[in-house]
Structure 1
Amino acid sequence: MKDMRPAGRMWNLYKMGGITPALTSMFDVQSAQQMAFMRSIMKEQRKNSLYDIPLETVELVVFDLETTGFSPYHGDEIISVGAVAVNGDSIMEDQSFYSLVNPKRNIPEQVVELTGITNEMADNAPDLYQGLRAFLEFVQKKVLVAHGTGHDKHFLNSALWKTSKVNLSHRMIDTMMVAKWLNPKLGHYDLDTLLQEYGIEVSTRHHALEDALMTAKLWSTFMVEFKSKNIESLGDLYAKLSY
Protein backbone atom coordinates (compact mmCIF):
# COMPACT_ATOMS: atom_id res chain seq x y z
CA MET A 1 0.00 0.00 0.00
CA LYS A 2 1.33 3.43 -0.95
CA ASP A 3 2.23 5.91 1.76
CA MET A 4 -0.10 8.90 1.23
CA ARG A 5 1.29 11.03 4.03
CA PRO A 6 2.91 14.24 2.67
CA ALA A 7 6.46 12.89 2.73
CA GLY A 8 5.43 9.54 1.25
CA ARG A 9 3.24 11.19 -1.41
CA MET A 10 6.13 13.48 -2.31
CA TRP A 11 8.46 10.49 -2.77
CA ASN A 12 5.99 8.62 -4.96
CA LEU A 13 5.40 11.70 -7.14
CA TYR A 14 9.13 12.23 -7.40
CA LYS A 15 9.67 8.64 -8.57
CA MET A 16 6.93 9.00 -11.18
CA GLY A 17 7.75 12.40 -12.62
CA GLY A 18 10.57 14.28 -10.94
CA ILE A 19 10.84 17.06 -8.43
CA THR A 20 8.95 19.77 -10.35
CA PRO A 21 5.69 17.82 -10.75
CA ALA A 22 6.07 16.68 -7.14
CA LEU A 23 6.40 20.23 -5.88
CA THR A 24 3.53 21.38 -8.07
CA SER A 25 1.29 18.68 -6.62
CA MET A 26 2.31 19.39 -3.05
CA PHE A 27 1.66 23.12 -3.31
CA ASP A 28 -0.94 25.14 -5.15
CA VAL A 29 -0.18 26.35 -8.68
CA GLN A 30 0.69 29.88 -7.59
CA SER A 31 3.11 28.64 -4.94
CA ALA A 32 4.77 26.30 -7.45
CA GLN A 33 5.18 29.16 -9.92
CA GLN A 34 6.69 31.33 -7.20
CA MET A 35 9.16 28.61 -6.25
CA ALA A 36 10.10 28.03 -9.89
CA PHE A 37 10.76 31.75 -10.39
CA MET A 38 13.04 32.03 -7.35
CA ARG A 39 14.87 28.83 -8.26
CA SER A 40 15.54 30.15 -11.77
CA ILE A 41 17.07 33.35 -10.35
CA MET A 42 19.36 31.42 -8.01
CA LYS A 43 20.34 28.97 -10.78
CA GLU A 44 21.32 31.80 -13.13
CA GLN A 45 23.28 33.49 -10.38
CA ARG A 46 25.37 30.36 -9.76
CA LYS A 47 26.49 30.43 -13.40
CA ASN A 48 27.83 33.95 -13.03
CA SER A 49 31.61 34.13 -12.44
CA LEU A 50 32.69 37.55 -11.23
CA TYR A 51 36.16 37.12 -9.81
CA ASP A 52 38.03 38.55 -12.81
CA ILE A 53 35.86 41.64 -13.23
CA PRO A 54 37.81 44.86 -12.49
CA LEU A 55 36.46 46.57 -9.37
CA GLU A 56 36.18 49.85 -11.26
CA THR A 57 33.53 48.32 -13.54
CA VAL A 58 31.84 45.76 -11.28
CA GLU A 59 28.07 46.19 -10.88
CA LEU A 60 26.91 46.12 -7.29
CA VAL A 61 23.73 46.56 -5.30
CA VAL A 62 24.21 48.00 -1.82
CA PHE A 63 21.24 47.08 0.36
CA ASP A 64 19.86 47.16 3.86
CA LEU A 65 17.00 45.45 5.70
CA GLU A 66 14.91 46.58 8.62
CA THR A 67 13.44 43.74 10.67
CA THR A 68 11.25 43.10 13.70
CA GLY A 69 14.22 41.74 15.65
CA PHE A 70 17.52 39.90 15.34
CA SER A 71 16.61 36.28 14.57
CA PRO A 72 14.60 35.06 11.58
CA TYR A 73 14.71 31.58 13.10
CA HIS A 74 12.80 32.74 16.19
CA GLY A 75 9.92 34.47 14.46
CA ASP A 76 11.44 37.80 13.42
CA GLU A 77 10.59 39.10 9.95
CA ILE A 78 11.70 41.65 7.35
CA ILE A 79 9.70 44.89 7.41
CA SER A 80 11.54 46.92 4.75
CA VAL A 81 14.18 46.59 2.05
CA GLY A 82 16.24 49.42 0.57
CA ALA A 83 18.89 49.22 -2.15
CA VAL A 84 20.88 51.34 -4.58
CA ALA A 85 22.91 50.35 -7.64
CA VAL A 86 26.64 51.11 -7.75
CA ASN A 87 29.00 50.83 -10.72
CA GLY A 88 32.57 50.72 -9.48
CA ASP A 89 32.69 53.74 -7.18
CA SER A 90 29.77 55.59 -8.83
CA ILE A 91 26.50 55.58 -6.89
CA MET A 92 23.51 55.42 -9.24
CA GLU A 93 20.99 57.21 -7.05
CA ASP A 94 18.47 57.18 -9.89
CA GLN A 95 18.57 53.35 -9.72
CA SER A 96 17.26 52.65 -6.24
CA PHE A 97 14.74 50.32 -4.65
CA TYR A 98 12.59 50.61 -1.55
CA SER A 99 9.70 48.54 -0.28
CA LEU A 100 7.92 47.98 2.98
CA VAL A 101 7.13 44.33 3.73
CA ASN A 102 4.16 42.99 5.68
CA PRO A 103 5.68 40.78 8.42
CA LYS A 104 2.30 39.22 9.27
CA ARG A 105 3.08 39.79 12.92
CA ASN A 106 3.14 42.68 15.37
CA ILE A 107 6.08 45.07 15.12
CA PRO A 108 7.57 45.68 18.59
CA GLU A 109 7.15 49.24 19.88
CA GLN A 110 10.91 49.81 20.12
CA VAL A 111 11.26 48.86 16.43
CA VAL A 112 8.44 51.23 15.50
CA GLU A 113 10.26 54.02 17.35
CA LEU A 114 13.60 53.12 15.73
CA THR A 115 12.42 52.74 12.13
CA GLY A 116 9.25 54.81 11.97
CA ILE A 117 7.45 51.82 10.42
CA THR A 118 4.10 51.35 12.14
CA ASN A 119 1.89 48.27 12.16
CA GLU A 120 -0.66 50.18 10.06
CA MET A 121 1.98 50.91 7.41
CA ALA A 122 3.11 47.27 7.39
CA ASP A 123 -0.46 45.95 7.13
CA ASN A 124 -0.83 47.72 3.77
CA ALA A 125 2.58 46.63 2.45
CA PRO A 126 3.37 43.82 -0.03
CA ASP A 127 3.77 40.37 1.50
CA LEU A 128 7.16 38.69 1.90
CA TYR A 129 7.13 36.94 -1.49
CA GLN A 130 6.11 40.08 -3.39
CA GLY A 131 8.73 42.23 -1.66
CA LEU A 132 11.44 39.61 -2.11
CA ARG A 133 10.62 39.08 -5.78
CA ALA A 134 10.69 42.82 -6.50
CA PHE A 135 14.05 43.13 -4.71
CA LEU A 136 15.62 40.22 -6.62
CA GLU A 137 14.32 41.58 -9.93
CA PHE A 138 16.10 44.83 -9.07
CA VAL A 139 19.31 43.02 -8.08
CA GLN A 140 19.48 40.64 -11.07
CA LYS A 141 22.98 39.05 -11.11
CA LYS A 142 24.81 41.88 -9.38
CA VAL A 143 27.05 41.48 -6.36
CA LEU A 144 25.36 42.35 -3.07
CA VAL A 145 27.00 44.70 -0.57
CA ALA A 146 25.81 45.32 2.99
CA HIS A 147 27.19 46.39 6.35
CA GLY A 148 27.32 43.39 8.67
CA THR A 149 26.11 40.85 6.11
CA GLY A 150 25.51 38.09 8.65
CA HIS A 151 22.24 39.64 9.79
CA ASP A 152 20.99 40.42 6.29
CA LYS A 153 22.05 37.10 4.81
CA HIS A 154 20.28 35.14 7.55
CA PHE A 155 17.05 37.04 6.92
CA LEU A 156 17.28 36.72 3.12
CA ASN A 157 18.02 33.00 3.33
CA SER A 158 15.15 32.48 5.76
CA ALA A 159 12.80 34.43 3.47
CA LEU A 160 13.93 32.57 0.35
CA TRP A 161 13.54 29.21 2.04
CA LYS A 162 10.16 30.11 3.46
CA THR A 163 8.79 31.32 0.12
CA SER A 164 10.71 29.21 -2.40
CA LYS A 165 12.85 26.52 -0.73
CA VAL A 166 16.10 27.98 -2.11
CA ASN A 167 19.14 29.65 -0.60
CA LEU A 168 20.79 32.91 -1.62
CA SER A 169 23.58 32.32 -4.14
CA HIS A 170 24.65 35.89 -4.88
CA ARG A 171 28.20 36.99 -4.10
CA MET A 172 28.27 39.28 -1.08
CA ILE A 173 30.71 41.86 0.26
CA ASP A 174 30.57 42.99 3.86
CA THR A 175 31.69 46.62 4.33
CA MET A 176 32.34 45.84 7.99
CA MET A 177 34.89 43.18 7.01
CA VAL A 178 36.43 45.55 4.47
CA ALA A 179 36.74 48.25 7.14
CA LYS A 180 38.43 45.83 9.55
CA TRP A 181 40.98 44.94 6.87
CA LEU A 182 41.64 48.57 5.88
CA ASN A 183 41.63 49.92 9.47
CA PRO A 184 42.71 47.09 11.79
CA LYS A 185 43.34 49.47 14.73
CA LEU A 186 40.08 51.40 14.58
CA GLY A 187 38.43 49.41 17.37
CA HIS A 188 34.75 49.90 16.45
CA TYR A 189 33.23 49.06 13.08
CA ASP A 190 29.54 49.87 13.42
CA LEU A 191 28.09 51.97 10.62
CA ASP A 192 27.85 55.16 12.71
CA THR A 193 31.53 54.97 13.68
CA LEU A 194 32.64 54.40 10.08
CA LEU A 195 30.46 57.20 8.70
CA GLN A 196 32.08 59.56 11.19
CA GLU A 197 35.58 58.19 10.47
CA TYR A 198 35.20 58.78 6.74
CA GLY A 199 33.39 62.10 7.02
CA ILE A 200 30.14 60.86 5.47
CA GLU A 201 27.08 62.94 6.34
CA VAL A 202 24.45 61.00 8.27
CA SER A 203 20.92 61.36 6.92
CA THR A 204 18.16 59.16 8.38
CA ARG A 205 19.44 56.12 10.25
CA HIS A 206 17.44 52.88 10.41
CA HIS A 207 15.63 53.65 7.16
CA ALA A 208 16.56 50.85 4.76
CA LEU A 209 17.13 53.04 1.68
CA GLU A 210 18.95 55.81 3.55
CA ASP A 211 21.22 53.28 5.27
CA ALA A 212 21.91 51.65 1.90
CA LEU A 213 22.84 55.03 0.39
CA MET A 214 25.22 55.83 3.27
CA THR A 215 26.79 52.37 2.99
CA ALA A 216 27.22 52.97 -0.76
CA LYS A 217 29.10 56.20 0.01
CA LEU A 218 31.27 54.25 2.43
CA TRP A 219 32.00 51.75 -0.35
CA SER A 220 33.00 54.58 -2.67
CA THR A 221 35.59 55.80 -0.16
CA PHE A 222 36.92 52.25 0.18
CA MET A 223 37.43 52.13 -3.59
CA VAL A 224 40.03 54.91 -3.31
CA GLU A 225 41.94 52.86 -0.73
CA PHE A 226 41.71 49.70 -2.86
CA LYS A 227 43.65 51.44 -5.63
CA SER A 228 46.45 52.36 -3.24
CA LYS A 229 46.69 48.71 -2.17
CA ASN A 230 46.72 47.32 -5.75
CA ILE A 231 43.32 45.66 -5.37
CA GLU A 232 42.13 45.61 -8.96
CA SER A 233 39.51 42.87 -9.20
CA LEU A 234 36.76 41.32 -7.14
CA GLY A 235 38.95 38.23 -6.83
CA ASP A 236 41.77 40.33 -5.37
CA LEU A 237 39.41 41.75 -2.75
CA TYR A 238 37.99 38.36 -1.77
CA ALA A 239 41.53 37.00 -1.47
CA LYS A 240 42.49 39.77 0.98
CA LEU A 241 39.31 39.39 3.02
CA SER A 242 39.82 35.63 3.33
CA TYR A 243 43.09 35.98 5.27
Structure 2
Amino acid sequence: MADWRSFFGRMFDSTGVMGLFGAANSRNLQVEAQVRDLLREARRKDLWDQKLDSLRYVVLDTETTGFNPTEDMILSIGAVEMNGTVICEGKTYHSYISLPARKEIPETITELTGISMETIADAPSLKKVLQEFLTFAGDAVLVAHHALHEMRFLQAAFRRTFRADFSHRFIDTARVAQIIGGRERIMTLDELASVYGIPLHGRHTAIGDAWITGRVWSCLLQESKKMGIRSLGELLECVSRGFFK
Protein backbone atom coordinates (compact mmCIF):
# COMPACT_ATOMS: atom_id res chain seq x y z
CA MET A 1 0.00 0.00 0.00
CA ALA A 2 2.84 2.33 0.83
CA ASP A 3 4.28 1.73 -2.64
CA TRP A 4 1.00 2.76 -4.30
CA ARG A 5 0.77 5.91 -2.19
CA SER A 6 4.36 6.72 -3.06
CA PHE A 7 3.63 6.12 -6.77
CA PHE A 8 0.59 8.41 -6.88
CA GLY A 9 2.38 10.94 -4.76
CA ARG A 10 5.10 11.16 -7.38
CA MET A 11 2.51 11.37 -10.18
CA PHE A 12 0.75 14.37 -8.73
CA ASP A 13 3.85 16.10 -7.42
CA SER A 14 4.42 19.46 -9.10
CA THR A 15 7.41 17.99 -10.88
CA GLY A 16 5.46 14.89 -12.01
CA VAL A 17 2.47 14.48 -14.32
CA MET A 18 0.62 17.52 -13.00
CA GLY A 19 3.73 19.57 -13.51
CA LEU A 20 3.99 18.33 -17.07
CA PHE A 21 0.32 19.13 -17.71
CA GLY A 22 0.86 22.60 -16.30
CA ALA A 23 3.91 23.17 -18.48
CA ALA A 24 2.08 21.95 -21.59
CA ASN A 25 -0.87 24.20 -20.82
CA SER A 26 1.46 27.13 -20.28
CA ARG A 27 3.12 26.53 -23.64
CA ASN A 28 -0.28 26.35 -25.35
CA LEU A 29 -1.31 29.66 -23.79
CA GLN A 30 1.96 31.25 -24.90
CA VAL A 31 1.43 30.04 -28.47
CA GLU A 32 -2.14 31.35 -28.51
CA ALA A 33 -0.94 34.72 -27.21
CA GLN A 34 1.78 34.90 -29.87
CA VAL A 35 -0.71 34.09 -32.63
CA ARG A 36 -3.11 36.76 -31.40
CA ASP A 37 -0.26 39.28 -31.35
CA LEU A 38 0.62 38.44 -34.97
CA LEU A 39 -3.01 38.80 -36.01
CA ARG A 40 -3.32 42.15 -34.25
CA GLU A 41 -0.15 43.42 -35.95
CA ALA A 42 -1.55 42.41 -39.34
CA ARG A 43 -4.77 44.35 -38.68
CA ARG A 44 -3.02 47.54 -37.52
CA LYS A 45 -1.47 48.43 -40.86
CA ASP A 46 -3.57 50.83 -42.92
CA LEU A 47 -3.37 49.62 -46.51
CA TRP A 48 -6.25 51.56 -48.06
CA ASP A 49 -4.17 54.27 -49.71
CA GLN A 50 -1.19 52.06 -50.56
CA LYS A 51 -0.27 51.79 -54.23
CA LEU A 52 -1.16 48.46 -55.79
CA ASP A 53 2.28 48.00 -57.32
CA SER A 54 4.07 48.66 -54.01
CA LEU A 55 2.10 46.26 -51.81
CA ARG A 56 3.27 42.91 -50.55
CA TYR A 57 0.86 40.12 -51.43
CA VAL A 58 0.69 36.50 -50.37
CA VAL A 59 -1.19 34.42 -52.91
CA LEU A 60 -2.52 31.22 -51.41
CA ASP A 61 -4.53 28.10 -52.03
CA THR A 62 -5.79 25.34 -49.78
CA GLU A 63 -6.82 21.76 -50.38
CA THR A 64 -9.56 20.52 -48.06
CA THR A 65 -11.55 17.35 -47.35
CA GLY A 66 -14.75 19.05 -48.51
CA PHE A 67 -16.55 22.38 -48.66
CA ASN A 68 -18.00 22.77 -45.16
CA PRO A 69 -15.51 24.52 -42.84
CA THR A 70 -17.38 23.42 -39.70
CA GLU A 71 -17.03 19.73 -40.58
CA ASP A 72 -14.26 19.43 -43.18
CA MET A 73 -10.55 19.96 -42.62
CA ILE A 74 -7.64 21.67 -44.39
CA LEU A 75 -5.26 19.14 -45.94
CA SER A 76 -2.60 21.50 -47.29
CA ILE A 77 -1.73 25.18 -47.63
CA GLY A 78 0.41 26.60 -50.41
CA ALA A 79 1.45 30.23 -50.81
CA VAL A 80 3.75 32.46 -52.85
CA GLU A 81 4.91 35.97 -52.02
CA MET A 82 4.60 38.88 -54.45
CA ASN A 83 5.95 42.42 -54.37
CA GLY A 84 3.57 44.34 -56.57
CA THR A 85 3.30 42.45 -59.85
CA VAL A 86 6.51 40.47 -59.28
CA ILE A 87 6.41 36.92 -57.91
CA CYS A 88 9.25 36.32 -55.45
CA GLU A 89 10.63 33.04 -56.77
CA GLY A 90 12.39 31.93 -53.60
CA LYS A 91 9.66 32.96 -51.14
CA THR A 92 7.06 30.22 -50.97
CA TYR A 93 5.30 28.18 -48.32
CA HIS A 94 3.76 24.73 -48.57
CA SER A 95 2.80 22.06 -46.08
CA TYR A 96 0.48 19.11 -45.78
CA ILE A 97 -1.52 18.83 -42.56
CA SER A 98 -2.31 15.77 -40.48
CA LEU A 99 -5.93 14.92 -39.71
CA PRO A 100 -7.47 14.32 -36.29
CA ALA A 101 -8.13 10.72 -35.27
CA ARG A 102 -10.97 9.00 -37.11
CA LYS A 103 -10.98 11.60 -39.89
CA GLU A 104 -10.53 10.26 -43.41
CA ILE A 105 -9.90 11.80 -46.82
CA PRO A 106 -12.79 11.11 -49.23
CA GLU A 107 -11.83 9.15 -52.33
CA THR A 108 -13.06 11.96 -54.59
CA ILE A 109 -10.62 14.38 -52.92
CA THR A 110 -7.73 11.94 -53.30
CA GLU A 111 -8.60 11.48 -56.98
CA LEU A 112 -8.71 15.26 -57.53
CA THR A 113 -5.70 16.36 -55.48
CA GLY A 114 -3.54 13.26 -55.17
CA ILE A 115 -3.53 13.67 -51.37
CA SER A 116 -4.06 10.35 -49.57
CA MET A 117 -3.85 9.24 -45.97
CA GLU A 118 -0.32 8.06 -46.75
CA THR A 119 0.57 11.56 -48.01
CA ILE A 120 -0.28 13.17 -44.67
CA ALA A 121 0.85 10.29 -42.42
CA ASP A 122 3.86 12.24 -41.10
CA ALA A 123 2.52 15.74 -41.75
CA PRO A 124 2.61 18.38 -38.99
CA SER A 125 -0.46 19.37 -37.00
CA LEU A 126 -2.91 22.07 -38.04
CA LYS A 127 -1.68 24.24 -35.16
CA LYS A 128 1.93 24.10 -36.32
CA VAL A 129 1.05 24.80 -39.96
CA LEU A 130 -1.20 27.74 -39.08
CA GLN A 131 1.61 29.25 -37.00
CA GLU A 132 4.08 28.80 -39.86
CA PHE A 133 1.68 30.21 -42.43
CA LEU A 134 0.82 33.22 -40.29
CA THR A 135 4.53 33.97 -39.82
CA PHE A 136 5.04 33.68 -43.59
CA ALA A 137 2.03 35.86 -44.43
CA GLY A 138 2.77 38.58 -41.90
CA ASP A 139 0.74 41.70 -42.70
CA ALA A 140 0.49 41.01 -46.44
CA VAL A 141 -2.71 41.38 -48.44
CA LEU A 142 -3.92 37.86 -49.15
CA VAL A 143 -5.02 36.84 -52.64
CA ALA A 144 -6.89 33.72 -53.73
CA HIS A 145 -9.15 32.50 -56.52
CA HIS A 146 -12.69 32.05 -55.18
CA ALA A 147 -11.25 33.50 -51.97
CA LEU A 148 -14.38 32.87 -49.90
CA HIS A 149 -13.40 29.20 -49.64
CA GLU A 150 -9.96 30.02 -48.18
CA MET A 151 -11.38 32.75 -45.95
CA ARG A 152 -14.01 30.49 -44.41
CA PHE A 153 -11.65 27.58 -43.79
CA LEU A 154 -8.87 29.72 -42.33
CA GLN A 155 -11.30 31.61 -40.13
CA ALA A 156 -12.78 28.36 -38.82
CA ALA A 157 -9.31 26.86 -38.30
CA PHE A 158 -7.97 29.84 -36.34
CA ARG A 159 -11.09 30.01 -34.17
CA ARG A 160 -10.99 26.29 -33.47
CA THR A 161 -7.25 26.13 -32.85
CA PHE A 162 -6.34 29.48 -31.29
CA ARG A 163 -9.69 31.03 -30.35
CA ALA A 164 -8.75 33.99 -32.53
CA ASP A 165 -10.23 35.69 -35.59
CA PHE A 166 -8.30 35.51 -38.83
CA SER A 167 -9.04 38.92 -40.30
CA HIS A 168 -6.45 39.58 -43.00
CA ARG A 169 -7.70 41.48 -46.03
CA PHE A 170 -8.49 39.11 -48.90
CA ILE A 171 -8.73 39.83 -52.63
CA ASP A 172 -10.62 37.43 -54.88
CA THR A 173 -9.01 37.16 -58.32
CA ALA A 174 -12.22 35.63 -59.70
CA ARG A 175 -14.23 38.74 -58.76
CA VAL A 176 -11.57 41.20 -59.91
CA ALA A 177 -11.28 39.42 -63.26
CA GLN A 178 -15.04 39.51 -63.70
CA ILE A 179 -15.22 43.27 -63.11
CA ILE A 180 -12.17 44.12 -65.21
CA GLY A 181 -13.44 42.11 -68.15
CA GLY A 182 -17.05 43.23 -67.78
CA ARG A 183 -18.03 39.56 -67.74
CA GLU A 184 -21.47 38.33 -66.72
CA ARG A 185 -20.10 35.31 -64.89
CA ILE A 186 -17.16 34.32 -62.72
CA MET A 187 -14.41 32.51 -64.61
CA THR A 188 -12.62 29.43 -63.33
CA LEU A 189 -8.90 29.44 -62.69
CA ASP A 190 -8.40 27.22 -65.74
CA GLU A 191 -10.29 29.71 -67.92
CA LEU A 192 -8.32 32.71 -66.66
CA ALA A 193 -5.04 30.86 -67.08
CA SER A 194 -6.04 30.20 -70.68
CA VAL A 195 -6.93 33.88 -71.24
CA TYR A 196 -3.47 34.98 -70.04
CA GLY A 197 -1.50 32.11 -71.54
CA ILE A 198 -0.45 30.70 -68.15
CA PRO A 199 0.57 27.00 -68.04
CA LEU A 200 -1.40 24.80 -65.64
CA HIS A 201 1.56 23.18 -63.89
CA GLY A 202 0.65 21.55 -60.56
CA ARG A 203 -3.08 22.12 -60.95
CA HIS A 204 -5.20 20.98 -57.98
CA THR A 205 -2.27 21.11 -55.60
CA ALA A 206 -2.14 23.96 -53.08
CA ILE A 207 1.28 25.24 -54.13
CA GLY A 208 0.61 24.70 -57.84
CA ASP A 209 -2.66 26.60 -57.75
CA ALA A 210 -1.03 29.37 -55.69
CA TRP A 211 1.59 29.82 -58.44
CA ILE A 212 -1.07 29.90 -61.17
CA THR A 213 -3.19 32.37 -59.19
CA GLY A 214 -0.12 34.54 -58.58
CA ARG A 215 0.52 34.81 -62.30
CA VAL A 216 -3.15 35.64 -62.90
CA TRP A 217 -2.99 38.30 -60.16
CA SER A 218 0.08 39.87 -61.78
CA CYS A 219 -1.85 40.21 -65.04
CA LEU A 220 -4.89 41.66 -63.25
CA LEU A 221 -2.73 44.23 -61.45
CA GLN A 222 -1.28 45.39 -64.76
CA GLU A 223 -4.74 45.67 -66.29
CA SER A 224 -6.05 47.59 -63.27
CA LYS A 225 -3.20 50.09 -63.59
CA LYS A 226 -4.00 50.63 -67.27
CA MET A 227 -7.57 51.45 -66.23
CA GLY A 228 -6.36 54.14 -63.85
CA ILE A 229 -6.73 52.15 -60.62
CA ARG A 230 -3.71 52.97 -58.47
CA SER A 231 -4.44 52.18 -54.82
CA LEU A 232 -5.86 49.20 -52.96
CA GLY A 233 -8.78 51.31 -51.78
CA GLU A 234 -9.67 52.33 -55.34
CA LEU A 235 -9.56 48.71 -56.46
CA LEU A 236 -11.76 47.48 -53.61
CA GLU A 237 -14.27 50.29 -54.12
CA CYS A 238 -14.57 49.52 -57.82
CA VAL A 239 -14.96 45.81 -57.21
CA SER A 240 -17.60 46.36 -54.54
CA ARG A 241 -19.57 48.66 -56.87
CA GLY A 242 -19.25 46.22 -59.73
CA PHE A 243 -17.51 48.42 -62.26
CA PHE A 244 -14.25 50.13 -63.19
CA LYS A 245 -14.14 53.82 -64.13
Give the TM-score normalised by the residue count of structure 1.
0.86
What's the counterpart of residue 92 of structure 2? 96
Matches of 2:78 and 2:184, distance apart in 1: 28
Contact 2:98 2:126 in 1 (8 A): yes
What's the counterpart of residue 55 of structure 1? 52
The alpha carbon displacement at 1:97 in A equals 0.5
Residues 145-190 of structure 1: CA distance to partner in whole angstroms, max 9, x if unpaired?
A: 0001111011000110011111112111110110111122364411
Q: 1:33 aligns with which of 22, 30, 34?
A: 30
What's the counterpart of residue 146 of structure 1? 144
Q: 2:177 aligns with which of 176, 179, 192?
A: 179
Structure 1 window deviating more from structure 2 (55-64 vs 102-111): it is: 102-111
Q: 2:238 aligns with which of 232, 237, 240?
A: 240
Q: 2:202 aligns with which of 193, 201, 204?
A: 204
Matches of 1:119 and 1:45, distance apart in 2: 34
Matches of 1:110 and 1:201, distance apart in 2: 24
What's the counterpart of residue 163 of structure 1? 161
The alpha carbon displacement at 1:35 in A equals 1.4
Contact 2:43 2:139 in 1 (8 A): no
Structure-to-structure mapping, 1:6-155, within 5 angstroms: 28-73=25-70, 75-104=71-100, 105-155=103-153
Considering only aligned residues, what root-mean-square deviation do their CA atoms show, in Å?
A: 1.4
What's the counterpart of residue 217 of structure 1? 215
Contact 2:175 2:186 in 1 (8 A): no
Contact 2:142 2:169 in 1 (8 A): yes
Counterpart AA for 2:190: D
> Unpaired segments of 5 or more residues in structure 2?
1-21
Q: Counterpart of 1:122 in 2: which secondary structure?
A: coil
**CA pair 36-217 structure 1, distance change in 2 beyond 3 A:** same
Counterpart AA for 2:27: Q
Matches of 1:180 and 1:127, distance apart in 2: 36
The alpha carbon displacement at 1:103 in A equals 2.1
Counterpart AA for 1:38: V
Report how many aligned residue pairs link the two structures. 217
> Unpaired segments of 5 or more residues in structure 1?
1-24
Counterpart AA for 1:141: D
Matches of 2:69 and 2:183, distance apart in 1: 32
The alpha carbon displacement at 1:128 in A equals 0.4
Matches of 1:109 and 1:151, distance apart in 2: 20
Q: Counterpart of 1:80 in 2: which secondary structure?
A: strand
> Where do 4+ consecutive residues of structure 1 move more than 6 Å?
none
Give the TM-score normalised by the residue count of structure 2.
0.85
Matches of 1:110 and 1:169, distance apart in 2: 31
* Percent of aligned positions that are identical: 39
